[in-house]
Amino acid sequence: MTRPTPDAIRGLPRLISILARALIRGRDAKFIATELDESFFRDIERGVPRPRAIRRFFWNVSSSIGSTWVGGVQVAAASGIGLDARLAVRVLAKHPTVTAVAVVTLGVGIPGSLALIHGVAAIYGDLPVPQAERLVGIRHFDRASNRPQRSSLQDLAEWRELTSLRNVGAARTRTLSLGGEGVEPRAVRGAEVTASVFEALRTPALLGREIGADDELPGAPPVIVVGEEVWRTHFAGDPDVIGRWVRIQGEPRVVVGVMPSGFGFPSDNSAWIPFRGEELAGRSEAGPRAFVFGRLADGIDIDIANAEVEAVTSRRAADNPARFEHFTGQLVAMTTLLSDARNDRIWRGDVLMVQLMIFGLLLVVCGNVGVLVLARTATRAREVAIRTALGASRPRILLQLFVEALILVVGATAVGLLGAEALARRIMRTQEAHGWLPYWADLTLTTRIVVLALMVAVVCSFLVGVVPALSSTGRGIRANLQRMATGAGALRMGWGSSALIVAEIALSIGFLAVGVAQCWSALSNAGADLGFDPARYVVGELALPDRDLDLRGEPGGRSTELSSVHQDLVDEISRDPAVVGVAIADDLPGLSNRNRGVVLEDAGVDPRKVEWDVATPRVGVAFFSALRRPILAGRDFQASDVAHGDGAFRRAVIVNESFVTDILGGRSAIGRRLRYERPREAEEGQWYEIVGVVGAFGTNPLNVARDAAVYHPIRNGEVNPVQFIAEVRGDPETVLHRLQTRAASSSPNATLAVGVLAGRMRAIATAQRAAYLFVVGVAMAAFLLSATGLYALLSFAVSRRTREIGIRRALGASAVAIGLLVTRRSVIQASVGLAAGVAIGWLLLDSQRTLRETEIQSVPLVLGITVLVALCVSVAACARPTLRGLRIEPRDALTE
Amino acid sequence: MAASLGAFEQLVLFAVLRLHARAFGVAIRESIEERTGRAVSIGSIYTTLGRLEDRDIVVSRVEKPQGRMGRMGRPRKYYELTPHGARVLRDAYASIQSMAGGVLPELERLADS
């Protein structure tokens, strides 16, 4: 086969060189393009192998294009970047309104667009321990359910055999009831851990020692290590704390160490006790779930370790296919293991999707600011054209406009970052009190996020400055000068920007309506009478670990065991002299309640669905009598109401006063029947019968106007975890710790969380207020964004039609006519946006009518208020540019 | 103070000097590649020469090619050092020599260690 001669393949390099000529810039472009293909042919003549010559040719082409552009920018920059910067500052100062709007919009938009990335990075970052990147979590992943699994101590025993990991250990959180002589009693968020936790995390104790391997041995003295915060608050910072005895769940333990502040492994914990030796030795699959983790052995990378974990899982799947068939072994970052459990797994795909949406919003922000800049550039079309005529190249003009945009955007980003840092510090202070972030998450700004923000700022500068500038400088000097000669602007506004503004207004009004409705509902609910005083109640949750209920082989054993635990709990708390009454339930008054749709049987008409859902708490038979809630009609629950076994249908229910007034319209409830819209298996085809009516008892603290509830009776032992509520005399805070100790002593192995009801309700109300403020904030931000768009559009219109306005004024046009001329397009856009927004708002509000939490009292009124707010903002946005248009003097406009 | 020259600028100027009056893009590229083994693009050579011409270090002329050298019949841009350019290059090279004087054995020793 004959190899093609250089002449035979000459055409292609020459063609590529000709094409490349279009991309090569600078005065020597034609020489460079000519010599690109010549270099190739000379390579062939010199005997360079053809594949290498081809590679060299393409590298030469791309590198030449790049170097001529870089060289051009360098020359342009060297010849006047300082001048550009000074000019940019003067231009920004000359248009203070545009500058202020852009700074606020971009200052919020750019840091805001990175908030999610920053938050996720903080949550999934490294633990604050030495060589944190070598720490890994070990878990199974169920391919069938597509979810990670919590691990058992049997898993721990298997994984301790892994050779690629060291310090393999486990931890699980437990509420520890701390008490004892000279110790302020309190529930602390504790953890049961293996000794290897401290070896793996390489964090030494502040005082004393960490938990050691000997502490895990059966029969070893019971020990506890406490955190610095617990040491300071409960032991008053006693320097001789080591060796002191305390009581945990009523059992004595000796304090052997104090861990430094900032150590909260695994999940904001402040006290640690060792796993019981018999548990670790038991290898029970039914035991407690725990986080299992380890440290990569020296010289082992995660892929090798992962392969070993997968091999172990495969072996176990072969031995026990029923359990492990769909499982795969997985090594994940330590914080991923802990955060997934905490957040019920944050899906990276979801985060990515939300982040893309946020970046989309940022694009809208940039679009609006870009329109503003375009409007300002339009007023400078003459300057641009004259500079071009005097010899300024297009890159030179673009560079100048880019520098202007860069100063604006980077300045706005810097302001925004300062604000973000202040906000982050405030959040971190709040976080210390509430602990809604993992203990290792630090939201204060990092170098990485600052660099990222600046990179985004540079990209935004292109969008804000260069893209509009391309359209304002790309039509050629002659065309621009000709347009100016006839009085027209050099720029045109497309339909795309109009559609953007209309969509922004419509969506923001829709969400604003929801925000207004929620705020209205929250305000009308503030201080409303819940029918009881939450400050007189102590509430708690008691959860028994599965292992203590593991009574296989005994029919009903689980329920019997739980029943006695619940009875012990009630009896123990009742013994306290401050307690007036105590009862159990699965949902508590004043806290969130499960909602269900109800179908009511009404005499003479078909069963009808009640418009909104009702609360359906399950309460102990003695709930109302113990808590002294009066039965207003009918009767209280009786033991016979719960005579059937677990899961059986029980007919009797009690409704509250709201149910009678709001749903039944004040008619008698006794004997009336109801069922649920979506019945459960045991309820299928069954009707409940109302046997009594009870007074208001705060079943919907978020909205007292929708307080209707249907109470169902339960026996002791039917639910786990169970909630308890105790009415107390005097200050509940003083009784709290005593009740906690009593509750803990009734079941030492239970997980316990006790608090004053009023405090819990305040936390829920705070969260609700934060959610409402967030909705309103986002809606207002979106609306201000659309107002920015309107402002930009009008500015653009006025700047483009200055000469026309002048001529019309000279010909005697009235101010009204000029105003209409200027605002026509914006008014149309605002009107279309408002109409679409009202429709969206109506749909959103209507879909919320059945919600219990938010009361939509009047959709037209809410929408009316929203539209009024929107109109005020729109008028404010339009006022300045319109007034500018009206102030144009014919003489000035015609001499421009 | 003498005008400074970057390393790549010095390479290009020595190539121009070496090629006498026949220094154009392709020839300069080949000269640098043969002697230094460093791959350079035509674009970077012309960008550098354009910058040096603005500083009056080189001067260019455009000629129609003749004979086999002008196989494509397209004009070429040839470069020569100006006297000022020659002084700048000499000073730059002297600076390097001055800095390197007496330490080359040490450099060799470190490089071989």
Confidence at residue B93, expressed as pLDDT on a 0 to 100 scale: 92
Question: Contact B77/A28, CB-based, under 8 Å?
Answer: yes
Nearest residue on chain B to A38, alpha-carbon basis: B26
User: Which residue of A64, A69, A73, A75 to mutate against B (max B Cβ within 10 Å)?
Assistant: A64
Two structure tokens written together for A74: 């360098």
What confidence score (pLDDT) does residue A80 get?
65
The tokens for A4 are 């093609």
Q: What is the pLDDT of residue A380?
A: 66
End-to-end, the C-alpha distance of chain B in Å comes to 38
pLDDT at A348: 54
Rounded CA separation A837/B103 (Å)? 78
Burial degree of A450 (CB within 10 A; 0-12, 13-18, 19+): middle
CA-based nearest residue to A619, from A725, A539, A477, A742: A725
Residues in A touching B24 (Cβ below 8 Å): 31, 35
- Please enumerate in sequence order all residues whose Cβ is within 8 A of that of A301, keeping only pairs 6 or more positions apart, or say none: none
Contacts of B44 in chain A (CB under 8 A): 63-64, 67, 71
CA atoms of A775 and A513, how far apart (whole Å): 10
String of b and e for A142-157 (b: at least 16 CB within 10 Å)?
A: eeeeeebebbbbebbb
The pLDDT of residue B24 is 92
Residues A374, A379, A382: CA angle, nearest 5 degrees: 115
B25-70 pLDDT, tens digit per residue, is 999 999 999 999 888 999 999 999 998 998 899 999 988 766 554 4
Rama region for B47: left / alpha / beta (φ>0; ψ in -120 to 50; rest): alpha
Q: How far B75 CA sits from the closest chain A CA (Å)?
A: 8
A266 prior amide bond cis, ω within 30: yes
Q: Are A828 and A848 spatial neighbours (Cβ–Cβ below 8 Å)?
A: no
ipTM of the complex: 0.84
Mean pLDDT by 10 residues, chain A (896 residues): 49 81 80 87 86 88 85 66 77 79 79 80 83 88 78 84 89 79 73 88 88 85 89 84 84 90 84 77 62 89 88 86 82 82 52 66 68 64 71 75 85 90 83 70 86 86 73 55 50 60 75 75 70 83 60 50 79 84 85 78 67 84 88 90 72 90 85 86 83 85 78 84 85 76 68 76 74 69 68 66 74 79 75 85 75 64 76 71 71 62
Contacts of A56 in chain B (CB under 8 A): 39
Closest Cα to residue A153, out of A278, A265, A266? A278
CB contact under 8 A, A38 and B72: yes
Of A322, A267, A286, A341, which is closest to residue A152 (Cα–Cα)?
Answer: A286
Encoding tokens for residue A309? 């974990």
Residues A512, A871 contacting (CB under 8 angstroms): no
B51 touches chain A (CB under 8 A): yes
* Six-digit token string for A844: 């959103």
Quick check: helix, strand or coil at residue A772?
helix
φ, ψ of residue A249 in degrees (nearest 5): 50, 35
B47 touches chain A (CB under 8 A): yes
| Neighboring chain B residues of A31 at a CB cutoff of 8 Å | 24-25, 46, 75-77
Which candidate from A27, A39, A75 shows the least CB-CB separation from B42? A39
**What gap in Å lies between CA B21 and CA B11, rounded to an integer?**
17
The DSSP bridge partners found for residue A169 are A293
Mutate to test the interface with A, among B34, B47, B53, B78 (most CBs of A within 10 A): B47
DSSP A776-794: HHHHHHHHHHHHHHHHHHH
Q: According to the model, what pLDDT value does residue A477 have?
A: 47
Contact B51 A66 (CB under 8 A): no
Question: A711 near A694, Cβ under 8 Å?
Answer: yes
Q: What is the pLDDT of residue A597?
A: 83
> Per the CB < 8 Å rule, is B50 touching A35?
no
**Nearest CB partner across the interface for A67, out of B24, B41, B74:** B41
Are B25 and A35 within 8 A, CB to CB?
A: yes
Residues of chain A that touch chain B, judged by Cβ-Cβ distance less than 8 Å: 24, 26-28, 31-32, 34-36, 38-39, 42, 56, 59-60, 63-68, 70-71, 75
Residue A32 to residue B46, Cβ atoms within 8 A: yes
Q: What is d(CA A481, CA A490) in angstroms, rounded to the nearest whole number?
A: 8
Rounded to an integer, what distance in angstroms lies between the CA atom of residue A610 and that of residue A544? 37
Residues A517 and A849 sit within 8 Å (Cβ to Cβ): no
| Distance from the B90 Cα atom to the nearest Cα atom in chain A, whole angstroms | 25
User: What is the rounded CA–CA span in Å between residue A626 and residue A752?
Assistant: 22
